[in-house]
Amino acid sequence: MSLLELNDVHSYYGNIHALMGVSLKVEQGEIVALIGANGAGKTTTLRSISGLLHPRRGTVLLEGKEIHHMAPNVVHKHGLGLVPEGRGIFPALTVTENLEMGAYILDDKKQIEANMENAFTLFPRLKERAQQKGGTLSGGEQQMLATARGLMSNPKILLMDEPSMGLAPVLVDQIFDIIRELNARGTTILLVEQNALMALSIAHRGYVLQTGQIVLTDTGQNLKANDMVRKAYLGA
């Protein structure tokens, strides 16, 4: 049984058929990359998994349990974490308060404190800015905060939507190093990323999405070497 599984998912925005039969799997301990051009349906796929958009057809299963009909907060309680596109931090709240918001489903105060300490260990920069308002952080720091917040609920799988967007190259390298570290610590990750080369370099497996359909899947390394992928997404 896969940790996460989508079977023939069809999602719509009004009459617009955004996902047309998407099927994919994420196994425990993997980094799986979902790549494609703008408008291909990558973010829609994550929305369909996280409960922000309910598919009209098909199923989404987390540890074998159907979650596609659930509200986002219920999906979250079942073990799914989301680092949204654009980071989505609370700019008027401090770093610590943002992290506390990520742990709202937890009742154990000691667990929350331990998760906070883990976040500060993984992101020392955030510890230095613990009482600073989120809106005053740099872009890279905000991405660190969004990622740390997504981890505060101890998710079984973390969905990451365009974590390198708008960052300088040196910060992109840093964010991808963090993703590798998270995975090495046991976090399963489904990664949507416009920077296909970086995403496939760290992914165990990948899927290529075109106009709402999966057109290719393989290991990350094989996709990097695939002629179609190289011409369409890697600038070869």
Q: Grade residue 167 by pLDDT with cuts at 50, 70 and 90.
A: confident
d(CA 176, CA 189): 12
Does the pTM exceed 0.85? yes
Q: Which CATH superfamily is domain 4-79+155-233 in?
A: P-loop containing nucleotide triphosphate hydrolases (3.40.50.300)
CB contact at 8 A, 66 and 55: no
Instruction: Note the pLDDT tens digit of each residue in 187-210.
Output: 999 999 989 999 999 999 999 999
The share of the chain scoring above pLDDT 90, in percent, equals 86
Instruction: Note the pLDDT tens digit of each residue in 30-54.
Output: 999 999 999 999 999 999 999 999 9
Q: How wide is the angle at C-alpha 18 spanned by C-alphas 44 and 37, nearest 5°?
A: 70
DSSP conformation class of 110: H
Predicted confidence (pLDDT) at residue 236 exceeds the cutoff of 70:
no
Which pLDDT does position 170 carry in this prediction?
85
Structure token pair of residue 186 = 């046991």
Instruction: Note the pLDDT tens digit of each residue in 53-102.
Output: 999 999 999 999 999 999 999 999 999 999 998 889 999 999 999 999 99
